[in-house]
Amino acid sequence: MQRIKKILSCKEKWRCSSPLSCATCGANWQRGKFKAFTSSLELFESDSNVILSYIVIKSNKMGSLRTKIGDLFLLMDKLKELKKRNKLPSFFGRLEISFSKGSLGFNPHLNLLVWGDYKPFELISSELSLSFWRRKKTNDDKTIKSIAWYMLKHNRVGIENGEAIRKVLEMRRTILTSKDLTLKTIDYIDEIIDIDFTFMGTFPIRSKEELALRSKHKETLKDLRIDLKSNISLVSF
C-alpha cells in the first residue's frame, strides 16, 4: 500500500522511481536507456552490408504472467550462456511486458535487434517452443535508433499491473546485449535530455493502440465524406 501511495505522489523533484507503473518515470527510463544505447552505438562497428533483423519472441503457453515470463527467462539465460562463449552475433534486446484489457491480458515478449546471423535465436526459440517473428530491416543509423526507441517504450499498464510485473520480474534486468554493445551508464539528467531525435518519423513503427486509433479516424473520415456527398446531392440542382 505504501508503495502505491508513493507512485500516486510522483511529481517534479519527487519521483516515485516506478517506471513500470508511472508514465513520467517510464518516460525518463526510456530516455535514459536510449541515451545509453546510442552512446554504446557510437563505439559499435556496424557494417552496412550486414543484415539487420528485428525479432520478437514470446511464449505460446496459456497461463499466468509468471508462467509466460518464466519461458522467456529460460531463453534469456541460454542467450547469456552463448554470449559468454562468443556464440552470438551483435544484438540488443529488451524484455517488454504490455497489457491488454481484452482477453489477452499480459503479453511478455523479448524484442531483439540482431546484426548478422539470427539463426541461433530462432533455434533456441524452437527448442523452447516459443513463438518467433522476424523482419529484415535497413541497416542504417536512423532505422536502428527508431526501432530501439520503440523497443524501450513505456507501456501504460496501470499501477496494479505495474506492481504485478515488478514482483514477477524479481529484480531481473530487462535489457540484454552482446559484449560489443554493453550499455554505458548515464549519470546526469542533462545527458539524458540531450538526445538527437532527428530519427523520429523516418521509420515509423506503430503500436497496436495507435493503429486502432488511425483505423477509427480513417473510418470517421470515410463516414464524413459519405455524409458530405449525401448532403451535397440534396442541395444540388
**Per-residue 3-state assignment (H helix, E strand, C coil) for the chain:** CHHHHHHHCCECCECCCCCCCCHHHHHHHHHHHHHHHHHHHCCCCCCCCCCEEEEEEEECCCCCHHHHHHHHHHHHHHHHHHHHCCCCCEEEEEEEEEEECCCCEEEEEEEEEEECCCHHHHHHHHHCCEEEEEEEECCCHHHHHHHHHHHCCCCCCCHHHHHHHHHHHCCCCCEEECHHHCCCCCCCHHHHHCCCCCCCCCCCCCCHHHHHHHHHHHHHHHHHHHHHHHHHHHHCC
pLDDT at 7: 59
pLDDT at 18: 82
pLDDT at 189: 52
pLDDT at 199: 76
pTM over 0.85: no
- Where in the chain are the domains? 2-205, 206-237
- State the virtual CA torsion across 192, 137, 118, 45 in degrees, nearest 10: -50
pLDDT at 119: 96
Mean pLDDT by 10 residues, the chain (237 residues): 61 76 85 88 80 94 88 95 94 91 80 96 96 93 92 88 88 90 65 69 59 77 79 69
The residue whose grid cell reads 554504446 is 40
